[in-house]
Every structure is written in C-alpha cells, then in structure tokens.
Amino acid sequence: MAQCEMAPVADVVESLSALAHVHRLAVFQLLVRAGAEGMAAGEIARDVGVLPNTLSTHLTILAHAGLIRSRREGRSIIYSADYEAMRDLLGFLVSDCCGGQPEICAPLVGIADVADRCSPQ
C-alpha cells in the first residue's frame, strides 16, 4: 500500500477512537444537532452532564481528531461539528460497501442525501 493511502486510514482510526467514548460521542452528536452556530463549552457541559475540566479533555480529543472546530466569541469559546470531516468519515466507512450488490447500499444513499441537506453550506 502506498504511503499516501495510509493517511486516510490513520485519520479514520483517530476519528473512530475519539468517538469511542460515551461522553465524546454525546458531545459530537450534540454539536451536530447544534448546527454551524455551535455551542459554548459551559452549555455543552450542562447538556452532556460532565464537569467542565472533564469536558475540556473530551473537546481536545475531538478537536485533535478533526471532528470539531472552535472559535472565540467575546469571552466564550464556541464549539461546532466539522461537517466536512463527518462526511469524509462516513464516506470512508461506506466507500467499499456492498461487494457489487447495490441493493444492500440503497438505504445508505438515503442517509447520505439527508446528511447533505442538513449540513451547513
């Protein structure tokens, strides 16, 4: 396998590892629902039910994996999901789907269409 082909696999492993924790998955799902406007860290901590210092660790891991972004608004840091990274991850997971049997993948096409309509442009 060529060197350039390994980078996406490493990125996918890092993303899946970041999501493989109940609180990080909850944070990511919350930010996906929040849309492009995102949420402040304190609001995320309250909604997910974790302490702020614990949330900080989870946000760092998700950001390092490229799944979320942050921006400063006044005195607050606002976090939002990186929809492009989410699409890339989902695309990778289904890229070799179906083994030549498109009827197996048909439901995934509908999910992808919904995701495209829901993501911010």
pLDDT in tens, 72-118: 999 999 999 999 999 888 888 877 677 766 677 777 666 666 655 55
Strands lying side by side in the sheet with 39-40:
39-40, 76-81, 68-73
- Would you kindly state where each structural domain of the chain is located, as residue ranges? 3-84
Nearest to 85 by CA among 11, 27, 22: 11
Specify whether the CB–CB gap between 67 and 81 falls below 8 A.
yes
Strands (E) in the chain, as ranges, are: 39-40, 68-73, 76-81
Q: Which two tokens stand for residue 48?
A: 């997910």
Specify whether the CB–CB gap between 21 and 67 falls below 8 A.
no
Cα-based distances in Å from 50 to 21, 23, 110: 13, 8, 34
pLDDT tens-place string over residues 27-80: 999 999 999 999 999 999 999 999 999 999 999 999 999 999 999 999 999 999
Nearest to 115 by CA among 93, 80, 90, 79: 90
Percent share of the chain, pLDDT over 70 = 77
pTM value > 0.95? no
Indicate whether 4 pLDDT > 80: no
Indicate whether 2 pLDDT > 70: no
Fold of the 3-84 domain: Arc Repressor Mutant, subunit A (1.10.10)
